[in-house]
Structure 1
Amino acid sequence: MSSDVRPRRRPTLAQRTTLVITATVALAVLVAALLSIGLVRQAARTEARRSLAQQANVVTGLVDAAIPARTGQALRALRATSTPVARVQPNGTVRGDALAVAAAERGKDQLLAGQPVSLRFQAGGRTVIAEGRPLSEGGGLVLARAQSDAIGPAVRLLWRQLLALLVGLVVAVVAGVLLARWLAKPLQRMASAAHRLAAGERDVVLDPTGPQEVAEVADAVNTLSAELGFSEQRQREFLLTVSHELRTPLTAVRGYAEALADGVTEPESVPAVGRTLVAEADRLQRLVGDLLDLARLDAVDLRIDAVDVDLAALLADAEPVWRSRCGQGGQQLLVERPSAPVLVRTDPVRVRQVLDGLAENAVRVTPSGRPVVLAVRHETDHAVLEVRDGGPGLTDEDLTVAFERSELHRRYAGQRPVSTGLGLAIVATIARRLGGQAQAAHAPEGGACFRLLLPTVSAGEPGQTA
């Protein structure tokens, strides 16, 4: 049963960035608006009462000073600004504007008693504020004003502020969209580059633009592209080398086999042909074995059986075998082993594989009469298994690529005895899987020196030559 349900599309970085910026700015605008409304309204009320009180003080002072002209001018100015005025006579009579009269009726007792009045009350559905001041001749003067009229300018200012906040919100949203696109665009280019790399392109180059972190990711993608190209080039060279090595013995085997099948081989030449076929078959077997070893060593599930191993004892077991091999080739075998055990926790089979592989290479390249040295010793916090030879040696540049697959084979094929070119790669892989390290150096005997470094279990003692 098939399903047509498509996976839910996730929001993009640009969308999320815009949403976060918009929500943040909107929240800030809302909080600012709420705070502004309360604070501005409260400040406006306070300022209205203070202003009305000052006006009451001024007009009362003019009346007490008996300056009729200026008093009349002040009263006309107040009425022009919607500020009603009422006067309480010493006998309690109240005259003036209706709103001020309503306020004066509420506070005339205090005014007649010579006390100032400050009122806030409801009249005609409106909130009214009033200020009254006693006069020196008796009675008093009352100024009143509707609170809405008093705080109107402040409210209009508040609306302007809210409008400015809304404009700021719109600007922030637009800026957020532009910022999100600026951030997302290089990331989209990187995603496209990654898909192109996955599709097989290797000339992918990105321009490291944008913030530093995004530019670093672009640099990383460029590095990955270059490294993939280099790695695949090395793999192609490796496959070409292996195919060439396979083709040579296969050609010889096929040629001799056809000669035998066609009956053109002389009877007395059959043993020699047989030996040649065996030699070429052995060569093929070694190459296939090395390839299988590399495949097994690269596998994640390669089994390592770690036990306590005395490298000095392991070297002693290997000595007779390689003394016999050196005797056949005319090389001089020297063995340096310590007088005390050199204990490591490792897989003895894999360590012996490393020793045999390095010794095989050393015997192959060392001329007759020259030394081949097998050594074990303890150094600080690790044990060293070392194979040195008196062969042609390696250059400084060779040492840096000695453990790369078929690299030395490619450089020296036809110039000196070489094998499949995979042995040192196998050594390096085994060393890593054992938790150690493989190293290449110049040997004091004039040739090459290869070492396997492994962590020790207990300290050993200086070695001796046998």
Structure 2
Amino acid sequence: MRPDRIRGPRRRRPGLAGELVLLTAAVTTVTVLLTGLVAWHTLRGAAEAQERDQLARQAKVLGRVPALSALLYAGEQRIAGANGVELAVLDRSGVLSGPAAPVLSTAQRDVLLSGKSLSSSGELHGTEVLVEGSPARYGGAVVLTRPLTDVDAAVARMRRDLLLPLTAGLVGAVVAGTALARRLARPLSRAAETASELAAGRRGVADPDPAASPGPAEAVRLRQALSVLDAALERGERQQRDFLLSISHEIRTPLTSVLGYAEALADDAVPTHRLPEVGRILQAEARRLDRFLGDLLDLARLEADDFRLDLAAVDLTLLVREAAATWGERCARHHVDFRLEHPGRAVVVRTDGFRVRQLADCLLANALRLTPQGNPVVLALRAGDDEVEVEVRDSGPGLTDDDVKVAFERGALHERYRDLRPVGTGLGLAIAHRLAARLGGTLTAGTEGPEGGAVFTLRLPTDDSGAADRRTTHGPDGRATDAADGHGGEGSRPDGAPPPDTRA
């Protein structure tokens, strides 16, 4: 039998509310016990001090008329009843009289005769008593005693009275802790339920107005984060669906052509003289499919955590000249005027030259596709103190302000313009934007350049501190596949050569 078959049921972990209630009860119990323990030991001292204070006040009152103190005390006893208090009177000559006389020592008599008060303990008739004496106004003193058993009885009463408030405090604290725990746990429980629903694929379940919901500030921030996450997931999934639908549509067209001609060839329905033409069509459609797959792989590599770069000192002036040699020839075949602008000196930057060329090829292919015959495409290099700029400008229809906002989202411009102007796979600008970020730079789009079309500017720092990584990811041929266009162009091939010559 497998070990996991004989295990008992998993214990259910207590919830936050239960843990808070237990914690509140534990803290309250400990607090009540400590308070009770301290009070328990301090009550005796408080009761004794209270009894002494009462005796001292009585002795002081009787000391004002020591000759009548015995009569006054006897009258009080008859009116209020016996209370255990005993009286002794010390005259000016030192003679002590009264039932409490045996409790005083000679030293204590001398203290009273010197005009000082007396507060001590002693033994009277075999019983421990409290002793309080007060000097008389014209000499002598009055002494009162009370048995310590009276103090013990008072302490017992006070301790009994203490149990009720301590118990009430314990119960009240538990009740308050339970209410507080539920108040704290309720928004967290709702947040956990919302997170579970989001994980299950449901959208639009987050609180639409988190700030208006009750709860502490941390719970409000948690609900706000879930609301933002909900909206982001919904937006991302919608964009992903639109992107997949767009890609599916673009792939289906060449795939349908390939399947149609393949069936015609299999059925021997293609005349012999048309075989070269059919072969060229199949080759072109296969290249389109290959371009789609290459773009998707490039995008996947750029979004992976292990994407790498090879950083080295690169002369960007030499790089743009090499790009100009390739793209000048291709633009000439399309009857487009290619122009190169550079500072005329070496511009050395520590970066990945292969990736910079890949990015430039992507932008140039995009510009060439949209530029009418006879109009210019410009590749420009500018060097500053802190950064360099590689700029590609075209003479095409340009971009609107709304286009610039979504220019680097996958398939956004492709979906918007595929029926209005020549487009590519819809991935190139997304790839270029991510590649620029990996290089530690930025890629921005402009609505209208000097030539009347769009402007794309790559900015790279003059040092390599902004590069995302120093490593390189290689493809099957030893180099990474170059990007394709998104605004409407094609990327360069893995071997560095330009893409096939296809006219819009």
TM-score (norm 1): 0.87
Query: Aligned residue for 1:177?
Result: 178
CA distance in 1: counterparts of 2:303 and 2:9, whole angstroms = 39
User: Once the two structures are superposed, what CA deviation does each residue of 1:396-446 show, in whole Å capped at 9, x if it has no partner?
Assistant: 101111111111111111211111111111111211222222111122211
Tell me what 1:461 maps to: none
> How far did residue 164 of structure 1 move?
1.7
Pick closer, same or farther for the CA change 1:88–1:300 going to 2, 3 Å.
closer
- The one-letter amino acid of 1:430's match is L
SS of equivalent to 2:463: strand
Give the letter for the 1:289 counterpart.
G
* In structure 2, distance between residues paired with 1:34 and 1:280: 91
Tell me which residue corresponds to 2:87.
85
CA offsets, 1:211-270, max 9 Å, x none?
A: 121011112112111211111111111111111111101111222222233233333333
**Structure 2 SS opposite 1:414:** coil
Aligned to 2:488: none
Structure 2 unpaired stretches of 5+: 465-504
1:203 to partner: Cα distance: 2.9
3-state DSSP of counterpart to 1:61: coil
Match of residue 335 from structure 2:
330
Q: Does 1:131 align with 2:137?
A: no
* More displaced 10-residue stretch of structure 1: 80-89 or 443-452: 80-89
2:461 is aligned, of 437, 455, 462, to 455
Give the 3 Å change call, closer, same or farther, for CA 11–405 of structure 1 in structure 2: same
1:209-358 residue pairs with structure 2 within 5 A? 209=213, 210-358=215-363
Identity of aligned residues (%): 44
Task: Give 1:302 shift.
Answer: 2.1
Contact kept? 2:94, 2:113, Cα under 8 Å: no
Q: Per-residue deviation at 1:349?
A: 1.1
| CA displacement at 1:332 relative to structure 2 | 0.8
- Deviation for aligned residue 1:289: 1.3
Contact 2:380–2:390, Cα closer than 8 Å, also in 1: yes
Q: Displacement, 1:69?
A: 6.5
The verdict on how the C-alpha distance between 1:60 and 1:262 changes in structure 2, with shifts beyond 3 A counting, is closer
Aligned partner of 2:410 in structure 1 is 405
Identify the residue that residue 384 of structure 1 maps to in structure 2. Answer: 389
Shift of 1:375: 0.9
Q: Partner of 1:338: helix, strand, or coil?
A: coil
Give the conservation status (yes or no) of the 8 Å contact 2:112–2:118.
Answer: no
Aligned length: 454
* Alignment of structure 1 residues 56-205 onto 2, 5 Å: 56-64=59-67, 70=72, 72-74=74-76, 76=78, 80-87=82-89, 94-96=97-99, 100-104=100-104, 110=110, 117-122=118-123, 127-132=128-133, 141-150=142-151, 156-157=157-158, 159-205=160-206
Extract unaligned runs of 5+ from structure 1. Answer: 459-466
Give the secondary structure class of the aligned counterpart of 2:205: coil
Please state whether the residue corresponding to 2:179 is helix, strand or coil: helix
Retained in 2: the 8 A contact 1:87–1:104? no
Q: For 1:299-355, what per-residue CA distance to the aligned partner results, in whole angstroms no more than 9, with x for missing partners?
A: 222221111112111001111111101100111111111123222221111111111
Deviation of 1:6 after TM superposition, in Å, equals: 6.0
Correspondence for 2:443 among 429, 438, 441: 438
> Match for 1:452: what amino acid?
L
The alignment partner of 2:373 has SS state of: coil
**1:40-95 CA-partner distances (Å, limit 9, x unpaired):** 4334323322321232232243343x598656534645763331224568796754
Counterpart-to-counterpart distance in 1, 2:126 and 2:273 = 135
Matches within 5 A, 1:7-22: 9-22=12-25
Contact 2:88/2:96 (<8 A) preserved: no
After superposition, give the CA deviation of every residue in 1:258-290 in whole Å (9 maximum; x if it has no partner).
Answer: 223323333333332222222212111111111
Residues 124 and 332 of structure 1: CA distance in aligned 2, closer, same or farther (over 3 Å): farther
Separation (CA, whole Å) in 2 of partners of 1:296 and 1:105: 103
Distance 1:366 1:70, change over 3 A: same
Aligned residue in 1 for 2:432: 427
Q: Which has a greater percent of helix?
A: 1
Q: Distance between the aligned counterparts of 1:67 and 1:233, measured in 2?
A: 102
Contact 1:56 1:142 in 2 (8 A): yes
Per the TM alignment, residue 455 of structure 1 is displaced from its structure 2 partner at its CA by 1.1
Q: Deviations over 1:140-192 (max 9, x none)?
A: 65321113425755764564345323312211111111111111122122112
How far apart, CA to CA, are the structure 1 residues paired with 2:442 and 2:60? Answer: 98
Q: Does the aligned pair in 2 maintain the 1:110–1:117 contact within 8 Å?
A: no
Give 1:394 deviation, angstroms: 1.0
Partner SS state of residue 180, structure 2: helix
Per the alignment, residue 44 of structure 2 pairs with: 41
- Which stretch of the first structure deviates more once superposed, 176-185 or 7-16? 7-16
Supply the distance in 1 between the matched residues of 2:137 and 2:353 (Cα, whole angstroms): 119
**Cα drift, residue 134 of structure 1:** 6.8
Give me the CA root mean square deviation. Answer: 3.1
Contact 2:187–2:219 (Cα < 8 Å) also in 1: yes
Q: Is the 8 A contact 1:312 1:342 kept in 2?
A: yes
Q: 1:26 aligns with which of 26, 29, 41?
A: 29
Query: In 1, Cα distance between the equivalents of 2:69 and 2:231?
Result: 97
The one-letter code sitting in structure 1 at the alignment partner of 2:256 is T
Q: 2:69 & 2:356 partners in 1: Cα distance?
A: 120
CA distance in 1, matches of 2:108, 2:434: 107
